């Protein structure tokens, strides 16, 4: 029987939500073994001078624990 765990991370990008998501998943896969899925829990933007300066995503990443 497999046991999964979910961890939450935040990732940012100067370009887009999609880029922030890709960076977050790539970083999670470097640290966590057996990443099997992820979903976006929240999206936000940082604004300065009336312009978007940063895209932020909060991602919930699922990975299988070895046992």
Domain containing residue 40: CATH number: 3.30.1660.10
- CA pair distance 48, 53, nearest whole angstrom: 6
Domain region containing 35: 3-65
Choose among 4, 42, 52: nearest CA to 21: 42
- CA pair distance 25, 28, nearest whole angstrom: 5
pTM (predicted TM-score) = 0.87
The model's pLDDT over 15-56, given as tens digits with 9 standing for 90+, comes to 999 999 999 999 999 999 999 999 999 999 999 999 999 999
Number of structural domains (the chain) is 1
Residue 67 has pLDDT above 70, yes or no: no
């Amino acid at each position: 029987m497999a046991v999964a765990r979910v961890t939450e991370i935040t990732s940012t990008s100067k370009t887009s939500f999609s880029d922030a998501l890709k960076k977050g998943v790539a970083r999670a896969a470097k640290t966590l073994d057996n990443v099997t899925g992820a979903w976006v829990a929240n999206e936000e933007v940082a604004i300065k001078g009336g312009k978007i300066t940063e895209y932020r995503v909060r991602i919930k990443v699922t990975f299988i624990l070895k046992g």
